[in-house]
Amino acid sequence: MSTSPLHDLDQKVSELLAAISEIDSLDALREAEPGTIGKRSILSTLQKSLGALAPEDRSDAGARLQSARRDVENAFEARREELASVARLHSLEQDRLELGDVVVDNVRFPATTGHPGIIAVTQSQLEDVFVAMGFTVSEGPEVESDWYNFEALNMPPAHPARGMWDTFYVDLGDPETVVLRTHTSPTQIHLMEEAVRSESLPLHAVMPGRCFRRDAPDSRHLATFHQIEGLVVDRGIGFSDLAGVIETFTRSYFGPDITSRLRPAFFPFTEPSAEFEITCTICKGSGCRTCSQTGWIELGGCGVVDPAVLHAVGIDADEWGGFAFGFGIDRCAQMRHQIADMRALIENDVRFLEQFS
Protein backbone atom coordinates (compact mmCIF):
# COMPACT_ATOMS: atom_id res chain seq x y z
CA MET A 1 0.00 0.00 0.00
CA SER A 2 1.47 3.40 -0.99
CA THR A 3 1.69 6.16 1.66
CA SER A 4 -0.64 9.17 1.28
CA PRO A 5 1.16 12.29 -0.03
CA LEU A 6 -0.32 14.08 3.02
CA HIS A 7 1.01 11.64 5.62
CA ASP A 8 3.39 14.23 7.07
CA LEU A 9 1.27 17.31 6.28
CA ASP A 10 0.95 18.39 9.95
CA GLN A 11 4.71 18.12 10.41
CA LYS A 12 5.33 20.19 7.24
CA VAL A 13 2.83 22.83 8.25
CA SER A 14 4.40 23.24 11.71
CA GLU A 15 7.81 23.62 10.08
CA LEU A 16 6.43 26.30 7.73
CA LEU A 17 4.72 28.16 10.60
CA ALA A 18 7.93 28.06 12.65
CA ALA A 19 9.92 29.37 9.68
CA ILE A 20 7.43 32.22 9.08
CA SER A 21 7.55 33.28 12.73
CA GLU A 22 11.34 33.63 12.46
CA ILE A 23 11.33 35.91 9.41
CA ASP A 24 12.57 39.25 10.68
CA SER A 25 11.81 41.82 7.98
CA LEU A 26 8.97 42.76 5.66
CA ASP A 27 11.29 42.32 2.64
CA ALA A 28 12.28 38.80 3.72
CA LEU A 29 8.61 38.00 4.30
CA ARG A 30 7.74 39.15 0.77
CA GLU A 31 10.55 37.00 -0.67
CA ALA A 32 9.51 33.89 1.29
CA GLU A 33 5.87 34.01 0.24
CA PRO A 34 6.06 32.59 -3.35
CA GLY A 35 8.22 29.62 -2.22
CA THR A 36 5.79 28.79 0.59
CA ILE A 37 2.35 29.30 -0.89
CA GLY A 38 3.06 30.17 -4.56
CA LYS A 39 2.84 27.88 -7.62
CA ARG A 40 6.12 26.10 -6.95
CA SER A 41 5.65 25.78 -3.20
CA ILE A 42 5.41 22.55 -1.21
CA LEU A 43 1.71 23.17 -0.73
CA SER A 44 1.09 23.47 -4.48
CA THR A 45 3.15 20.34 -5.17
CA LEU A 46 1.05 18.47 -2.61
CA GLN A 47 -2.10 19.84 -4.25
CA LYS A 48 -1.02 18.36 -7.60
CA SER A 49 -0.24 15.00 -6.01
CA LEU A 50 -3.84 14.63 -4.84
CA GLY A 51 -4.71 13.56 -8.40
CA ALA A 52 -2.97 10.23 -7.67
CA LEU A 53 -5.33 9.45 -4.79
CA ALA A 54 -8.35 7.21 -5.07
CA PRO A 55 -11.41 9.37 -5.94
CA GLU A 56 -13.11 8.58 -2.60
CA ASP A 57 -10.06 9.89 -0.64
CA ARG A 58 -9.61 13.02 -2.71
CA SER A 59 -12.20 15.30 -1.16
CA ASP A 60 -11.05 14.73 2.46
CA ALA A 61 -7.43 15.22 1.47
CA GLY A 62 -8.34 18.39 -0.48
CA ALA A 63 -10.13 19.81 2.56
CA ARG A 64 -7.12 19.06 4.83
CA LEU A 65 -4.80 20.74 2.37
CA GLN A 66 -7.10 23.80 2.05
CA SER A 67 -7.15 24.19 5.80
CA ALA A 68 -3.34 23.84 5.97
CA ARG A 69 -2.98 26.53 3.27
CA ARG A 70 -5.29 28.86 5.21
CA ASP A 71 -3.19 28.37 8.37
CA VAL A 72 -0.02 29.26 6.47
CA GLU A 73 -1.62 32.27 4.76
CA ASN A 74 -2.94 33.53 8.12
CA ALA A 75 0.53 33.12 9.62
CA PHE A 76 1.96 35.28 6.81
CA GLU A 77 -0.69 37.93 7.42
CA ALA A 78 -0.15 37.97 11.19
CA ARG A 79 3.63 38.19 10.77
CA ARG A 80 3.21 41.00 8.23
CA GLU A 81 1.19 43.01 10.76
CA GLU A 82 3.72 42.39 13.53
CA LEU A 83 6.65 43.43 11.36
CA ALA A 84 4.80 46.51 10.02
CA SER A 85 4.07 47.66 13.56
CA VAL A 86 7.72 47.14 14.57
CA ALA A 87 8.76 49.14 11.48
CA ARG A 88 6.35 51.94 12.41
CA LEU A 89 7.70 52.17 15.95
CA HIS A 90 11.23 52.16 14.62
CA SER A 91 10.49 55.01 12.23
CA LEU A 92 8.79 57.04 14.99
CA GLU A 93 11.81 56.49 17.20
CA GLN A 94 14.09 57.72 14.38
CA ASP A 95 11.96 60.85 13.82
CA ARG A 96 11.88 61.79 17.48
CA LEU A 97 13.31 65.23 18.17
CA GLU A 98 15.59 65.44 21.16
CA LEU A 99 14.83 68.83 22.72
CA GLY A 100 17.63 69.43 25.11
CA ASP A 101 19.36 72.47 26.57
CA VAL A 102 20.41 75.11 24.06
CA VAL A 103 23.96 76.42 24.27
CA VAL A 104 24.72 79.83 22.76
CA ASP A 105 28.20 81.36 23.14
CA ASN A 106 28.98 78.87 25.91
CA VAL A 107 25.87 79.95 27.85
CA ARG A 108 23.49 77.06 28.59
CA PHE A 109 19.74 77.76 28.38
CA PRO A 110 17.99 74.88 30.12
CA ALA A 111 15.28 73.05 28.17
CA THR A 112 11.81 73.91 29.44
CA THR A 113 8.61 71.97 29.10
CA GLY A 114 5.48 73.65 27.74
CA HIS A 115 2.21 74.18 29.58
CA PRO A 116 -1.34 75.02 28.55
CA GLY A 117 -1.95 78.71 27.88
CA ILE A 118 -3.97 80.89 30.24
CA ILE A 119 -7.10 80.80 28.05
CA ALA A 120 -7.07 77.00 27.82
CA VAL A 121 -6.66 76.80 31.60
CA THR A 122 -9.45 79.34 32.19
CA GLN A 123 -11.76 77.51 29.78
CA SER A 124 -11.27 74.23 31.57
CA GLN A 125 -11.80 75.86 35.00
CA LEU A 126 -15.05 77.41 33.76
CA GLU A 127 -16.16 74.07 32.33
CA ASP A 128 -15.42 72.44 35.72
CA VAL A 129 -17.60 74.99 37.54
CA PHE A 130 -20.54 74.37 35.20
CA VAL A 131 -20.09 70.59 35.08
CA ALA A 132 -20.28 70.64 38.89
CA MET A 133 -23.66 72.39 38.50
CA GLY A 134 -24.91 69.61 36.21
CA PHE A 135 -24.17 71.08 32.76
CA THR A 136 -22.70 69.04 29.90
CA VAL A 137 -20.03 70.51 27.58
CA SER A 138 -20.42 70.77 23.78
CA GLU A 139 -18.64 72.56 20.98
CA GLY A 140 -19.83 74.02 17.68
CA PRO A 141 -18.30 75.20 14.39
CA GLU A 142 -16.31 78.44 14.16
CA VAL A 143 -17.55 79.10 10.60
CA GLU A 144 -21.31 79.43 10.48
CA SER A 145 -24.04 80.15 7.99
CA ASP A 146 -25.96 83.40 8.37
CA TRP A 147 -28.92 81.31 9.57
CA TYR A 148 -27.16 79.92 12.64
CA ASN A 149 -25.29 83.10 13.58
CA PHE A 150 -28.22 85.49 13.08
CA GLU A 151 -31.50 84.33 11.58
CA ALA A 152 -32.35 81.41 13.90
CA LEU A 153 -31.43 83.74 16.78
CA ASN A 154 -34.36 85.97 15.86
CA MET A 155 -32.41 88.32 13.59
CA PRO A 156 -33.89 88.11 10.08
CA PRO A 157 -31.89 89.61 7.19
CA ALA A 158 -31.36 93.37 7.61
CA HIS A 159 -32.50 93.25 11.27
CA PRO A 160 -30.87 96.28 12.95
CA ALA A 161 -29.61 94.15 15.87
CA ARG A 162 -27.13 92.48 13.51
CA GLY A 163 -25.18 95.71 13.84
CA MET A 164 -24.41 94.75 17.46
CA TRP A 165 -21.75 92.44 16.05
CA ASP A 166 -19.14 93.70 13.60
CA THR A 167 -18.89 90.63 11.44
CA PHE A 168 -16.13 88.97 9.40
CA TYR A 169 -17.71 87.41 6.30
CA VAL A 170 -16.17 84.40 4.57
CA ASP A 171 -15.89 84.56 0.78
CA LEU A 172 -18.03 81.44 0.16
CA GLY A 173 -21.39 81.00 -1.56
CA ASP A 174 -23.63 84.04 -1.98
CA PRO A 175 -22.20 87.30 -0.55
CA GLU A 176 -22.56 87.65 3.24
CA THR A 177 -24.03 84.18 3.78
CA VAL A 178 -21.07 82.56 5.58
CA VAL A 179 -19.51 84.18 8.65
CA LEU A 180 -16.82 83.61 11.26
CA ARG A 181 -19.15 83.26 14.22
CA THR A 182 -19.43 86.50 16.17
CA HIS A 183 -20.54 84.70 19.35
CA THR A 184 -21.08 81.16 20.65
CA SER A 185 -24.88 81.57 20.59
CA PRO A 186 -25.24 79.70 17.22
CA THR A 187 -24.07 76.57 19.06
CA GLN A 188 -27.31 76.83 21.07
CA ILE A 189 -29.18 76.33 17.80
CA HIS A 190 -27.12 73.26 16.82
CA LEU A 191 -27.71 71.74 20.25
CA MET A 192 -31.45 72.39 20.26
CA GLU A 193 -31.78 70.97 16.73
CA GLU A 194 -29.95 67.84 17.83
CA ALA A 195 -32.09 67.53 20.98
CA VAL A 196 -35.25 67.80 18.85
CA ARG A 197 -33.91 65.20 16.37
CA SER A 198 -32.95 62.77 19.12
CA GLU A 199 -35.95 63.65 21.33
CA SER A 200 -33.55 64.28 24.22
CA LEU A 201 -34.92 67.46 25.82
CA PRO A 202 -34.39 68.80 28.52
CA LEU A 203 -31.01 70.34 27.81
CA HIS A 204 -28.43 71.76 30.23
CA ALA A 205 -25.20 72.57 28.37
CA VAL A 206 -22.27 74.95 28.19
CA MET A 207 -20.51 75.59 24.88
CA PRO A 208 -17.05 77.14 24.95
CA GLY A 209 -15.26 78.32 21.82
CA ARG A 210 -13.49 80.94 19.74
CA CYS A 211 -15.33 83.94 18.29
CA PHE A 212 -14.38 86.64 15.83
CA ARG A 213 -15.39 90.29 15.51
CA ARG A 214 -14.09 93.30 13.66
CA ASP A 215 -13.44 94.94 17.04
CA ALA A 216 -10.40 97.20 17.37
CA PRO A 217 -8.20 95.62 20.06
CA ASP A 218 -8.11 97.62 23.31
CA SER A 219 -7.76 96.91 27.02
CA ARG A 220 -10.99 94.80 27.07
CA HIS A 221 -11.36 93.64 23.43
CA LEU A 222 -9.61 91.42 20.90
CA ALA A 223 -10.64 90.57 17.34
CA THR A 224 -10.34 86.85 18.17
CA PHE A 225 -11.60 85.99 21.61
CA HIS A 226 -13.47 83.23 23.44
CA GLN A 227 -16.90 82.83 24.96
CA ILE A 228 -18.62 80.17 26.98
CA GLU A 229 -22.28 79.89 26.13
CA GLY A 230 -24.82 78.36 28.50
CA LEU A 231 -28.25 77.01 27.63
CA VAL A 232 -30.96 75.39 29.69
CA VAL A 233 -34.17 74.22 28.02
CA ASP A 234 -36.56 72.62 30.46
CA ARG A 235 -40.10 72.88 31.77
CA GLY A 236 -40.99 75.72 34.15
CA ILE A 237 -37.76 77.68 33.71
CA GLY A 238 -37.62 81.38 34.56
CA PHE A 239 -35.33 84.35 35.11
CA SER A 240 -34.79 83.44 38.78
CA ASP A 241 -33.18 80.12 37.73
CA LEU A 242 -30.80 82.08 35.52
CA ALA A 243 -29.97 84.53 38.33
CA GLY A 244 -29.27 81.59 40.66
CA VAL A 245 -26.87 79.95 38.19
CA ILE A 246 -25.01 83.24 37.64
CA GLU A 247 -24.70 83.86 41.36
CA THR A 248 -23.38 80.32 41.96
CA PHE A 249 -20.96 80.70 39.06
CA THR A 250 -19.61 84.05 40.33
CA ARG A 251 -19.00 82.72 43.83
CA SER A 252 -17.37 79.50 42.60
CA TYR A 253 -15.09 81.12 40.05
CA PHE A 254 -14.20 84.50 41.58
CA GLY A 255 -14.72 83.77 45.28
CA PRO A 256 -17.20 85.27 47.78
CA ASP A 257 -15.61 88.75 47.83
CA ILE A 258 -16.56 89.65 44.27
CA THR A 259 -19.76 91.61 43.79
CA SER A 260 -21.80 91.01 40.66
CA ARG A 261 -24.87 92.69 39.20
CA LEU A 262 -27.34 92.16 36.37
CA ARG A 263 -28.37 95.20 34.36
CA PRO A 264 -31.28 95.29 31.92
CA ALA A 265 -30.06 94.92 28.35
CA PHE A 266 -31.25 93.90 24.91
CA PHE A 267 -30.45 90.76 22.93
CA PRO A 268 -32.77 89.69 20.10
CA PHE A 269 -32.69 86.04 21.22
CA THR A 270 -33.58 86.55 24.91
CA GLU A 271 -36.42 88.42 26.59
CA PRO A 272 -35.96 89.73 29.21
CA SER A 273 -32.20 90.17 28.76
CA ALA A 274 -29.44 91.36 31.06
CA GLU A 275 -25.78 92.19 31.13
CA PHE A 276 -23.74 90.50 33.82
CA GLU A 277 -21.05 92.65 35.43
CA ILE A 278 -18.57 92.23 38.29
CA THR A 279 -16.54 94.74 40.26
CA CYS A 280 -13.38 95.56 38.30
CA THR A 281 -10.64 93.52 39.98
CA ILE A 282 -7.91 95.88 38.76
CA CYS A 283 -9.14 98.97 40.68
CA LYS A 284 -11.48 97.14 43.12
CA GLY A 285 -14.32 99.36 41.93
CA SER A 286 -12.72 102.77 42.30
CA GLY A 287 -12.39 103.31 38.53
CA CYS A 288 -9.42 102.78 36.19
CA ARG A 289 -8.47 102.72 32.52
CA THR A 290 -9.42 99.02 32.15
CA CYS A 291 -13.04 99.57 33.27
CA SER A 292 -13.30 103.03 31.63
CA GLN A 293 -13.54 104.57 35.13
CA THR A 294 -16.87 102.81 35.84
CA GLY A 295 -15.64 100.38 38.51
CA TRP A 296 -17.52 97.54 36.71
CA ILE A 297 -16.53 95.06 34.02
CA GLU A 298 -19.09 93.39 31.79
CA LEU A 299 -18.46 89.64 31.63
CA GLY A 300 -21.41 88.58 29.49
CA GLY A 301 -25.00 88.75 28.38
CA CYS A 302 -27.89 86.53 29.41
CA GLY A 303 -31.66 86.20 29.45
CA VAL A 304 -34.73 84.05 29.07
CA VAL A 305 -34.78 82.32 25.67
CA ASP A 306 -37.15 84.15 23.32
CA PRO A 307 -40.02 81.86 22.16
CA ALA A 308 -39.13 82.84 18.55
CA VAL A 309 -35.81 80.99 18.95
CA LEU A 310 -37.51 77.85 20.28
CA HIS A 311 -39.94 78.12 17.41
CA ALA A 312 -37.09 78.36 14.84
CA VAL A 313 -35.80 74.94 15.91
CA GLY A 314 -39.20 73.30 16.30
CA ILE A 315 -39.50 73.32 20.12
CA ASP A 316 -42.98 73.92 21.53
CA ALA A 317 -42.65 77.16 23.50
CA ASP A 318 -45.88 76.43 25.39
CA GLU A 319 -44.32 73.30 26.87
CA TRP A 320 -40.64 74.27 27.13
CA GLY A 321 -38.82 77.37 28.33
CA GLY A 322 -35.20 78.21 28.87
CA PHE A 323 -32.45 80.62 29.73
CA ALA A 324 -29.12 81.32 28.07
CA PHE A 325 -25.93 83.21 28.79
CA GLY A 326 -22.65 83.97 27.03
CA PHE A 327 -19.56 85.01 29.02
CA GLY A 328 -16.20 86.18 27.67
CA ILE A 329 -13.56 83.61 28.65
CA ASP A 330 -10.76 86.11 28.03
CA ARG A 331 -12.60 88.65 30.24
CA CYS A 332 -12.96 86.04 33.01
CA ALA A 333 -9.21 85.31 32.79
CA GLN A 334 -8.47 89.04 32.73
CA MET A 335 -10.51 89.69 35.88
CA ARG A 336 -9.32 86.61 37.75
CA HIS A 337 -5.65 87.40 37.12
CA GLN A 338 -6.00 91.18 37.20
CA ILE A 339 -4.59 91.71 33.73
CA ALA A 340 -4.93 95.45 33.07
CA ASP A 341 -4.76 95.13 29.27
CA MET A 342 -6.23 92.14 27.41
CA ARG A 343 -3.81 92.61 24.51
CA ALA A 344 -1.13 91.06 26.75
CA LEU A 345 -2.88 87.73 26.07
CA ILE A 346 -1.85 87.76 22.41
CA GLU A 347 1.52 89.49 22.51
CA ASN A 348 3.39 86.24 23.23
CA ASP A 349 5.75 87.88 25.70
CA VAL A 350 7.32 84.91 27.49
CA ARG A 351 7.74 86.91 30.72
CA PHE A 352 3.96 87.46 30.80
CA LEU A 353 3.05 83.90 29.79
CA GLU A 354 5.41 82.28 32.31
CA GLN A 355 3.43 83.79 35.18
CA PHE A 356 0.62 81.37 34.39
CA SER A 357 2.64 78.13 34.16
DSSP H/E element including 274: strand 270-279
Task: Tell me which residues in 230-269 interact with ligand FA5 (CB under 6 A).
Answer: 267
Asked whether the beta carbons of 68 and 75 are under 8 A apart, the reply is: no
Alpha carbon distance 156, 147 (integer Å): 8
In this structure, how many other beta carbons lie within 10 angstroms of the beta carbon of residue 162?
19
Residue with smaller CB distance to ligand FA5, 73 or 234: 234
Task: Tell me which residues in 144-173 interact with ligand FA5 (CB under 6 A).
Answer: none
Q: With CB under 6 A, what is the number of residues at the site for ligand FA5?
A: 24
Please enumerate in sequence order all residues whose Cβ is within 8 A of that of 219, keeping only pairs 6 or more positions apart, or say none.
289, 290, 340, 341, 342, 343
Q: Which residue is nearest to ligand FA5 (CB)?
A: 328
Integer-rounded Cα radius of gyration of the chain: 34
* Options 299, 310, 312, 333; binder of ligand FA5; rule CB under 6 A: 299
Is there binding between residue 341 and ligand FA5 (CB under 6 A)? no
Q: How many distinct helices (H) and strands (E) make up the chain? A: 11, 11
In this structure, how many other beta carbons lie within 10 angstroms of the beta carbon of residue 283?
18
* Options 69, 79, 162, 183; binder of ligand FA5; rule CB under 6 A: 183
* Options 300, 310, 313, 335; binder of ligand FA5; rule CB under 6 A: 300
Residue with smaller CB distance to ligand FA5, 9 or 305: 305
Is there binding between residue 330 and ligand FA5 (CB under 6 A)? yes
Per CB under 6 A, which region of 2-10, 61-69, 118-126, 213-221 contacts ligand FA5?
213-221
Asked whether the beta carbons of 16 and 10 are under 8 A apart, the reply is: no
Peptide bond into 116 cis (omega under 30): no
Is there binding between residue 328 and ligand FA5 (CB under 6 A)? yes
Is there binding between residue 303 and ligand FA5 (CB under 6 A)? yes
Binding site for ligand FA5 (CB under 6 A): 183, 185, 213, 215, 221-222, 225, 227, 229, 267, 270, 273, 298-303, 324-326, 328, 330-331
